[in-house]
Amino acid sequence: MSRVTAFTSMIRVGVNGYGTIGKRVADAVRLQPDMQLIGVAKTRPNYEAETALQKGYPLYSAIPEQSHLFAEAGMELHGEVEDLVSESDVIVDATPSGVGADNCSLYKEHETPAILQGGETSDAVDESFVAQANYDDAAGAELLRVVSCNTTGLSRLLEPLDRTYGVDKARVTLIRRGGDPNETNRGPINDILPDPVTVPSHHGPDVRTIFPTLAIDTVGVTVPATLMHLHSVNITLDTAPTVDELCELLERNPRLFVVPEKLDIEGTAQLKEFAKDSGRPRGDLWENCLWKESVAMEGTDLYLFQSIHQEAIVVPENIDAIRALVSQKPAAESIALTNDRLGIHSRDSYSTSQRSDTAQPADD
């Protein structure tokens, strides 16, 4: 039974944890015609709390014992995290890894379904989630997990390939960014780390929380970069499509941006620059970015490179996860609505502006 009754057609959403992911999800919630942002929870009155207030987002204290810090900093609180949870139809928990699992008892106490992020383990939740793969499985769940940026990127690519050609075996090397641009304490600064040094990395098993029977091995390397991850992908398919057929399939999916040769984009820095120049908020790339020139077939072996903007790729998935949990909207409708409101379009109409008839976040 949906928590969103006939009395209220708007889904009331609370965001607990207003950092890299939480602030982007809050902005995206505000753009949806069927959602109302109840507020965001912060542990302390820093610059992110200041910008939340500038945007008109009601601010809640995530740690009641620290509520006085907000008053001392002259920041008005709307309440404490428990109030946010009880006032919301669904909570998006975007707290640091491990904190989300600790918060689950609070969500259960208030019978408020919650969406955790990829830093949590799959056993903390009822289902792991990627919209185009398993939207319908979320119905009735209390706790959902939007999988990590890398797992989301791999799942989005594998789903149409497996559905159309069959995937015999996927092998992926993940070249991982050392930290997000605002993470001053991450690295490496001057090294290339096998990470993890053991093979396979955890990403393959994480993909199998979405596709339980898929054969996939992943290895990871961490490099001194902050902008995006890069995946070197090799997938053995059951059949051997042409490169043109493959590209046509991938280009039909708006959440896969097949980067055309004509744009002369050489790497992740220019991808991000393209997004910024195009007016994307924060230079966000919500799509997998696949270099069209890299798509190659050798027999039934597919090779390609794709880049994943770790700060942004899970944002549309969180929006769809909200609807999957507490609305009756079918997957295709939710995905289309999310794409439309964010400004995610297929290749020929690649647009980077969000809808103009909606309030824009203040710093866009």
Ligand X SMILES: NC(=O)c1ccc[n+]([C@@H]2O[C@H](COP(=O)([O-])OP(=O)(O)OC[C@H]3O[C@@H](n4cnc5c(N)ncnc54)[C@H](OP(=O)(O)O)[C@@H]3O)[C@@H](O)[C@H]2O)c1
Q: Catalog residues that contact ligand X under the rule CB under 6 A.
A: 16-17, 19-22, 41-44, 46, 48, 62, 94-97, 99-100, 117-120, 148-149, 180, 310-311, 314
Residue 212 neighbours by CB distance under 10 Å: 7
198 contacts: CB under 8 Å, gap ≥ 6? none
- Whether 247 is a known active-site residue: answer no
- The secondary structure of 264-286 as a DSSP string is ---SHHHHHHHHHHTT-GGG---
> Which residue lies nearer to ligand X by CB, 62 or 233?
62
**Minimal distance, residue 255 CB to ligand X, in Å:** 15
Q: Is 39 left (phi over 0), alpha (psi -120 to 50) or beta?
A: left
Say how far apart CA 144 and CA 40 lie, in whole Å.
19
Task: Compute CA 50 distance to the chain's CA centroid, rounded to the nearest angstrom.
Answer: 24
Using CA atoms, how far residue 55 sits from 48, 51, 79, 102, 125, in Å, is 11, 6, 17, 29, 31
Nearest approach, Cβ of residue 313 and ligand X (Å): 7
CB of 117 or CB of 339, closer to ligand X: 117
CA distances from 129 to 50, 76, 328 (A): 32, 35, 17
Report the residue number, 31 or 62, with the smaller CB distance to ligand X: 62
CB of 166 to ligand X, least distance (A): 29
Closest CA to 319 of 164, 149, 146: 146
Shortest spacing between CB 17 and ligand X, in angstroms: 4
Nearer of residues 287 and 302 to ligand X, judged by Cβ? 287
Question: Nearer to ligand X by C-beta: 42 or 255?
Answer: 42
Q: Which residues make beta-bridge pairs with 176?
A: 222
Residue of closest CB approach to ligand X: 19
Return the axis-axis angle of helices 20-30 and 314-326, rounded to nearest 10°.
Answer: 60
CB distance 246 to 297 below 8 Å: yes
In the complex, the smallest distance separating the C-beta of residue 118 from ligand X, rounded to whole angstroms, is 4
Q: Which of 104, 149, 247, 289 is catalytic?
A: 149
Which of 287, 311 has the CB closer to ligand X?
311
CA–CA separation, 261 vs 237, rounded Å?
25
**Calpha distance 302→300 (Å, rounded):** 6
Supply the residues annotated as catalytic.
149
